[in-house]
Structure 1
């Protein structure tokens, strides 16, 4: 009877585990995941990625400001 009591509890857990395994498999096939997981110094890699994204954001913000100024000036 203990097993019968546990079966309804275990069934959703199994489904959840299968779903997570599928997600992991999908992540592992993505190029970005393979690149990030192959980097020896992950801190340095992500710091560099953060720096690059900050530069891109700053460039885009400057371009938006320039367009806004051009629109305001006529």
Structure 2
């Protein structure tokens, strides 16, 4: 979150002015700097790649990418 243009508190405040936010809602904030498309040459996810993410106190998830059939 340190590289976000707008902080989480601002986004929640702004969005709640015109929509109801409920527990479990997700606010998609876009892509952080340093993503594959911006690399030279570009780097993309491929079949077999694994992406893991987590939120402290909430849990973790792990996704393994597979080729489109």
With structure 2 as the length reference, what TM-score do the two structures score?
A: 0.21
1 or 2, which has the higher strand percentage? Answer: 2
TM-score, normalised with respect to structure 1: 0.20
Higher relative contact order (CA 8 A, sep 6+): 2
